[in-house]
């Protein structure tokens, strides 16, 4: 199947899951994850109408965004971000989904003030309670949201998580439900109020489940581009096949 055909299938699956969860067919945004994929193949997806793209690593994202300059796309940074990479990430990303600590918020704010622009951000939460995963502990989210109000250039839009890597569907759903509860509490109690509506959760293996549990954004790569050659452990700690993952089994 071509990239356009696979993209079409994924969009249909998203649409069906959205309707199943009582929402409009276009209620869920697809961020197409392009890590390890060459610009020419990404361009096929863009030609098939894809506008939201996601990268996990700053240098790879920057290179790809430069190769695809002029295309009508918006890049999201979805991987762990070091504060010393802030300058580079802001060269291409219109959104950072992996905001997980105050020092990073501070570094982003400083650079954004210099550039005179704002940035959409999602707060990454560690819903699986694995020591290996990035993200705030759920209990730390309300305090973090209060502190974020000090940063004028950051526009918090909601939350992002990676579910536990397990074939146990109930366990995966539990992670998504935790993020949804955090979002629902934030909508009610956080100073930012009702703008914190986004839930970025679900990847190739579980985006249907994530949408059933309320995802408004899914991050999908392999379901469109096929299996990656590089193991997931290259992109995040705790992925299957890494020591950290083996410890949690």
Ligand X SMILES: *Cc1c(COP(=O)(O)O)cnc(C)c1O
Using CA atoms, how far apart are residues 175 and 220, in angstroms rounded to an integer? Answer: 18
Residue closer to ligand X, measured from CB, 153 or 162: 162
CB of 182 to ligand X, least distance (A): 18
Phi, psi of 104, rounded to the nearest 5 degrees: -70, -40
Question: In the structure, how many helices (H) and strands (E) does the chain have?
Answer: 10, 8
Residue closer to ligand X, measured from CB, 125 or 223: 223
Task: Return the SS3 of 93.
Answer: strand
- The site map against ligand X for 176-195 (x = CB under 6 A) is --------------------
- Taking the alpha carbons of 173, 175, 181, 186 in that order, is the dihedral positive or negative? negative
CB of 126 to ligand X, least distance (A): 13
- The pair of structure tokens assigned to 91 is 């060269």
Q: Is 56 in the site for ligand X (CB under 6 A)?
A: yes
Restricting to residues 83-122, name those near ligand X by CB under 6 A. none
71 contacts 47 by C-beta, under 8 angstroms: no
Task: Return the SS3 of 104.
Answer: helix
CB of 57 to ligand X, least distance (A): 9
Applying CB under 6 A, among 79, 138, 158, 238 the residue interacting with ligand X is 79
> Which alpha helices (H) appear in the chain, and where do they start and end?
3-20, 39-47, 58-67, 86-89, 102-115, 141-148, 169-189, 207-212, 222-225, 243-248
- The site map against ligand X for 200-229 (x = CB under 6 A) is ---xx--------------xxxxx------
Angle between helices 169-189 and 141-148 (to 10 degrees): 40
In the complex, which residue's CB is closest to ligand X? 221
Residue closer to ligand X, measured from CB, 18 or 97: 97
CB of 114 to ligand X, least distance (A): 27
Report the interface residues with ligand X, using CB under 6 A.
Answer: 33, 35, 56, 78-79, 162, 203-204, 219-223, 235-236
């Amino acid at each position: 199947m071509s990239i356009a055909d696979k993209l079409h299938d994924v969009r249909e699956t998203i649409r069906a899951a959205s309707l199943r969860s009582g929402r409009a067919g276009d209620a869920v945004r697809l961020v197409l994850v392009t890590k390890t994929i060459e610009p020419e193949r990404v361009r096929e997806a863009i030609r098939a109408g894809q506008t939201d793209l996601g990268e996990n690593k700053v240098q790879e994202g920057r290179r790809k965004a430069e190769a695809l300059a002029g295309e009508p796309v918006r890049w999201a940074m979805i991987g762990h971000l070091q504060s010393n990479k802030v300058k580079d990430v802001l060269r291409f990303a219109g959104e950072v989904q992996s905001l997980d600590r105050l020092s990073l918020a501070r570094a982003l704010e400083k650079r954004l003030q210099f550039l005179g622009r704002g940035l959409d951000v999602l707060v990454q939460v560690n819903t699986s309670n694995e020591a290996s995963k990035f993200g705030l502990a759920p209990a730390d989210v309300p305090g973090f949201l209060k502190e974020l109000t000090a940063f004028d250039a950051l526009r918090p839009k909601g939350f992002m998580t990676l579910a536990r890597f397990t074939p146990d569907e109930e366990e995966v759903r539990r992670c998504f439900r935790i993020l949804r509860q955090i979002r629902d509490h934030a909508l009610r109690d956080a100073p930012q109020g009702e703008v914190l509506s986004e839930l970025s959760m679900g990847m190739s293996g579980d985006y249907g489940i994530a949408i059933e549990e309320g995802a408004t954004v899914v991050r999908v790569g392999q379901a469109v581009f096929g299996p990656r050659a590089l193991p997931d452990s290259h992109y995040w700690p705790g992925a299957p096949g890494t020591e950290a993952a083996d410890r949690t089994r």
